[in-house]
Amino acid sequence: MEVKARAPGKIILSGEHAVVHGSTAVAASIDLYTYVTLRFPTPSDDDDTLKLQLKDMALEFLWPISRIKDALSGLGCPDSSTPTSCSIEATKTLAALVEEQNIPEAKIGLASGVSAFLWLYTSIQGYKPATVVVTSELPLGSGLGSSAAFCVALSAALLAFSDSVKIDLNHQGWLLFAEDELDLLNKWAFEGEKIIHGRPSGIDNTVSTYGNMIKFRSGSLTRIKSNLPLKMLITNTKVGRNTKALVASVSERTLRHPDAMNFVFSAVDSISEELSSIIQSPVGDDLSVTQIEEKVEELMEMNQGLLQCMGVSHASIETVLRTTLKYKLASKLTGAGGGGCVLTLLPNRTIVDKVTSELESSGFQCFTAGIGGNGVEIYLGGGSS
C-alpha cells in the first residue's frame, strides 16, 4: 500500500514582527510543496524496519521496529483520533533514537525534524514497518514554512491509512480532505511543529493545511479567500538568520522608542487590514485587476519601509530591493528578515527573465510561485503524479 501527500509552503504578505506586538498579519500558501510518500511492505518483503529517506539530502534513517517499540511502548497506545503532545520524557527518548542514527555534523539541525517524524509516525500508526520518502521544493530555514509543510504532509499520509479519516482508497489522483479531517490533521501537524520549534504560532501549519490565506491577530486565526490570482517572485538570499534574536531586537527597540514604534505597529496593522480587504474584493475586467495589483504593490512597499524602521532588513535584502526596483517591481522581505527570502509582486503579464537572471547572478536563488492555492492533498492510485 502506498500514498503520497503534498503540503504547500507559506509566505507572510504583511505584518511580520508587528504581529508580536498586537498588529494583524496576513499569510498565504504558495504553490511550492513538500512531498511525503508512505509505503507499507507486503508480507513477502520480510521487512521489519521503519525507514525515513530524505531524498534531497541523500540521507536515510533506519530503525528496527522492535527498537522503537521497546523505547516508546511505555507511553501508551497510539490513538490517531486524539492529537497528543510529546512529553519531556518522550522527547528525551526520541532524541536518543535519533542520536543512534549518527546524523552528519553539517546536518545536525535536522535532528528535531527526525524526532517529530518518529513522534507523529508512532502516535498515528503505532509500531508498523514502513518506508517514508520526503522530497521538497522549499529551501530549508528560509522562512517559507518548510518544517510545517513536512509535518502537514507527513500527518496527511499517516492519517490516510488510519481509522480517523474516511478516504476512498479506490480514488485515482489528487484528493482533498474533508473539513473536520483537516482540523484533526492540522492539530497533529502542530504537535510536530512544537517538537521542532518549541513554541510555534500555528500560522505555518494552518496555512499549509488549509491553503489560501489567513489573517492572524493576538492568537486568533481567520481564514480568508483571495479572488485575485497573485503571483510572486520569491528570492532566497541564502543568508541565515536567527529569528529569536531578530524578534528580541524589535522588542528592545520598542522599549527604547515606545511612542515611535507603536505608531509603526499601528501603521502595519492598517496595511494588513487593507491588504486583506483588497485581496477579497471582487475582480472584474483587466483594468480592475491592474488597479488591485497597484494597491498591493504600494502596500508592500510601505510595509517594507516599516520593517526597515524596525531594524530587521539586511544588506542582502536591500540588494534585492534595488535590483527589482530597476524593473519597476515592488518587493518586501517575508518572515523574520535579517536575510531569508524577499517577495516581489509580479503583475499580470510581467516578464521575469531579466530580473531573475540579474538576481541569480548576484548569488541568490529565485522561484516563481502562485499564492493562495490549495492546502494539503493526497495522491492515490498508480501512474504519474
pLDDT in tens, the chain (385 residues): 789 999 999 999 999 999 999 999 999 999 999 999 999 998 878 889 999 999 999 999 999 999 999 998 777 777 899 999 999 999 999 999 999 998 888 788 899 999 999 999 999 999 999 999 999 999 988 889 999 999 999 999 999 999 898 887 777 788 899 999 999 999 999 999 999 988 888 899 999 999 999 999 988 889 998 888 889 999 999 998 888 899 999 999 999 999 999 999 999 999 999 999 999 888 776 658 888 899 999 999 999 999 999 999 999 999 999 999 999 999 999 999 999 999 999 997 778 899 999 999 999 999 999 999 999 999 986 544 5
Parse the chain into domains and list their residue ranges: 2-222+372-380, 226-368
Q: What is the CA radius of gyration of the chain?
A: 21
- DSSP annotation of 17 reads T
Write down the pLDDT at residue 1. 77
Write down the pLDDT at residue 286. 64
Architecture of domain 2-222+372-380: 2-Layer Sandwich (3.30)
Same fold, 2-222+372-380 and 226-368: no
DSSP-based three-state secondary structure for 130 = strand
Entry pTM: 0.91
Answer yes or no: 204 catalytic.
Answer: yes
The distance in angstroms from the start CA to the end CA of the chain is 16
Residue for grid cell 475582480: 283
Write down the pLDDT at residue 285. 64
d(CA 234, CA 119): 32
- Catalytic residue, chosen from 168, 183, 204, 269, is 204
User: What one-letter code names the amino acid at 298?
Assistant: E
Helix residue ranges, H only, the chain: 65-72, 88-99, 111-125, 146-160, 179-197, 203-210, 243-256, 258-279, 286-310, 315-326, 353-361
Give the residue among 192, 63, 61, 71 at the shortest CA–CA distance from 120. 192
* Inter-residue contact 297 to 271 (CB < 8 Å): no
Write down the pLDDT at residue 383. 46
Classify domain 226-368 at the CATH superfamily level.
Answer: GHMP kinase, C-terminal domain (3.30.70.890)
* Inter-residue contact 331 to 321 (CB < 8 Å): yes
